[in-house]
Structure 1
Amino acid sequence: MPRALRAVLLASVLIGPVLLTGCADNSAATTASSKDLSAVEIPKTVDPDTEITIGSPEIEVALKLSGQIDKLPFKVKWANLSGGPQCSEAFRANALDVCSAAEIPSIHAHWTGLDTKLVAAAFRTDPVKNPIYELGIAPGAGIDSLADLRGKRIAYSPGQAQGALVLRILAKAGFTKDDVKLVELPSTGDVYPTALGGGQVDAAPLGGVNIKRYPAKYGKDGGKTIPHGLRDDPSHLWVPTASVSDPQKAAAIREFVTYWARAEVWIDTHPEEWIEGYYVKDQGLSREDGEYLVKTGGHPAIPGDWKDAIADQQKTIDLLAKETGKESFDAKILFDRRFEKVGAEAVSGTGADTGAGTGAGS
């Protein structure tokens, strides 16, 4: 599983009101300009006095554990937040320059008038075999496959990866949101497992240790998980367009992408240190839970060509537009391709997958 996204799954994130828009209510939405920066050159070196604020708690820990945090060639303030809702609010307040997030927040940001860019992309080498999410099924719901979802109550979190995954699952099964009842719930902490166990919903996407914990707790009553068979692994570094429009901040962000990519590989190649230093000491999980997350996490793929990533993003945009009544747009405007090769070049020769493709269309 991409490490940046796993942090989102483990964190208790509050959904910002700007993203809690219902599927049909678009009255307050506007669109961002998504400034084209392709012709703007980033300085070759960064001024060491340049300071940026980064919301990527998992990478912060990885840099500390690997001894790299003091080698960053710029000043940094670390913010203990990640994921779409928290980072969107921080971007709007001009309080954050970089955030770890999945692909959905940048799409919703565009629709709500927040101009942002994606400056790094990570995937997994075997995303369908080792999914980030499985579909949790409530006891007595009568769901054994995706074909049984018609008419069921499904937990839905707009503006987050779980919400988009629900719409993609419905599309795969030949349904639309009108064929089910979407129950708007935040996908944080134990909200989804509790809603499933308490009969508030019939199905909900579960991630992280909840894939293991939910059936262990509710399996005796019939609670279970089923695979969805879709790739659900995109992970990004996400920034306000204003930050990468500033030459020195753009140079600092480019350097951070380099350290981020190396941290991803370090995490993958140092499982024991990661389990103890992050999952146990930082996140407060049991060693057993940490071992489970490492075992099911897959390996990082950091492509040097974003063609497939953009194609996948376009499919997601088109699906969300269709199901929410918003206007589709060109996914290319979300990616700052000046940073396209930075991550892959940083880990070239380390054994990390840096191929051009991400397996778009899975």
Structure 2
Amino acid sequence: MIRSSHRHGAFFSGARAAFVALLLGAFAISAHAATTLRIGWQKGSDLSVIKARGVFERTLEQRGIAVRWIEFPAGPQMLEALNVGGIDLGVVGETPPVFAQAASDNLLYVGVEPPAPTGEALLVPKSSAIKTLADLKGKRIAFNRGSNVHYLLVRLLEKAHLSYDDVKVTYLTPSDGFAAFENGNVDAWVIWDPYASAAVVKLDARVLADASGGVADNHQFYTASRSFAQAHADALKFALARIDDESRWIGAHRKEAAQIVAPQIGLPIDIAERSLSHASYGVTPLDADVVASQQRIADTFFRLKLIPKQIDIATAVWH
């Protein structure tokens, strides 16, 4: 799960300052009004570092907000839990919220990280005869259904003038995908970091393509349940402001963050640091461009009949 790109750096810097000021100014929760915030997290993510450091949790507890961490293998499973009231807040890639919004009206977009197009990739074995995207026709491609790389695959196929039906897709979780790729059971694997970096270093995988060049932004979205946001708006604002602080700490201390991430995912520190180097950091509100980009994903998935109905992203943006 990686987010990297310095596009719109000035915008994000200014927006971040305004966002944090707004969140801190709006926070007015009383110390005795205890609230529990259930946060979904994945190993190797920013939230995994934030959880391990403990600063975020202690800060929220001082404001009467208890934090409960719930681990998930990937974004789709996390948002399934959010839709049924199992968690209150989580961070996922671009695609899971589209599937979640198509299934329920409980999801709200409450923040976004800057684009990270090099944080996801389509990998092939180093010795593979697949040299171009066009060579993917008829090949077996593994990925986690409903995750950010689902959209990446669709866009890469479009770039090669191939249809979704021109390839043989296999839905696998990251751990199962790693094993299938390592054992030669699939021809290609579409995956995010840190798993992509691990495959490149440990399996000598070759990056056939990533999301660079306008293929996809690979945003990371902070999503909350509508019910929690309505009932505990001030607590949510305060939590997001603190996550923004912690995210920027990670960006400035990648070596230290890598030492936290590496044992979580069973990888050497250098691979964890490589993964973090593809990331971008900070949390801002969604602007019109981000909403429009997310709407294109939703429209694409509806056209491909991957979601059952057309959805309007703007109606799920928290203001």
The TM-score bracket by the shorter chain reads 0.7 to 0.9
Q: In 2, Cα distance between the equivalents of 1:281 and 1:140? A: 30
State the AA in 2 paired with 1:70: R
What's the counterpart of residue 35 of structure 2? 50
CA 1:284/1:224 → structure 2, altered by over 3 Å: closer, same or farther?
closer
Instruction: Give the deviation of 1:168 after TM superposition.
Output: 1.8
Deviations 1:34-81 (A, max 9, x none): xxxxxxxx9751233222222246436426637443222232232232
What's the counterpart of residue 24 of structure 1? none
Instruction: Give the deviation of 1:93 after TM superposition.
Output: 4.2
What's the counterpart of residue 70 of structure 2? 80
CA 1:231/1:301 → structure 2, altered by over 3 Å: closer, same or farther?
farther
Aligned-residue identity in percent: 21
2:303 to 319, 322, 334: 322
What's the counterpart of residue 8 of structure 2? none
CA 1:74/1:105 → structure 2, altered by over 3 Å: closer, same or farther?
farther
Mapping 1:111-190, distance limit 5 Å: 111-124=102-115, 127-128=116-117, 131-138=118-125, 141-186=128-173, 188-189=174-175
What's the counterpart of residue 253 of structure 2? 270
Q: What is the DSSP-based 3-state SS (H/G/I as helix, E as strand, rest coil) of the residue aligned with 1:227? A: strand
CA 1:226/1:84 → structure 2, altered by over 3 Å: closer, same or farther?
same
Q: What is the DSSP-based 3-state SS (H/G/I as helix, E as strand, rest coil) of the residue aligned with 1:238? A: strand
Mapping 1:280-359, distance limit 5 Å: 280=262, 282-294=264-276, 296-300=277-281, 302-304=283-285, 306-324=287-305, 326-336=308-318, 338=319
2:112–2:285 contact (8 Å) kept in structure 1 = no
* CA RMSD in angstroms, aligned pairs only: 2.7
Structure having the higher helix fraction is: 2
Unaligned runs of 5+ residues in structure 2 are 5-24
Q: In 1, Cα distance between the equivalents of 2:179 and 2:145? A: 19
Instruction: Give the deviation of 1:207 after TM superposition.
Output: 2.8
Q: What is the DSSP-based 3-state SS (H/G/I as helix, E as strand, rest coil) of the residue aligned with 1:123? A: coil
1:252 to 235, 240, 250: 235
State the AA in 2 paired with 1:2: R
CA 1:332/1:241 → structure 2, altered by over 3 Å: closer, same or farther?
same
Q: In 2, Cα distance between the equivalents of 1:43 and 1:333? A: 22
Instruction: Answer with 197-206 or 137-146: which moved more.
Output: 137-146
Q: In 2, Cα distance between the equivalents of 1:204 and 1:60? A: 24
Alignment coverage as a number of residue pairs: 286
TM-score (norm 2): 0.79
Q: What is the DSSP-based 3-state SS (H/G/I as helix, E as strand, rest coil) of the residue aligned with 2:99? A: helix
State the AA in 2 paired with 1:299: S
Is 1:236 the counterpart of 2:214? The answer is no
CA 1:210/1:282 → structure 2, altered by over 3 Å: closer, same or farther?
closer
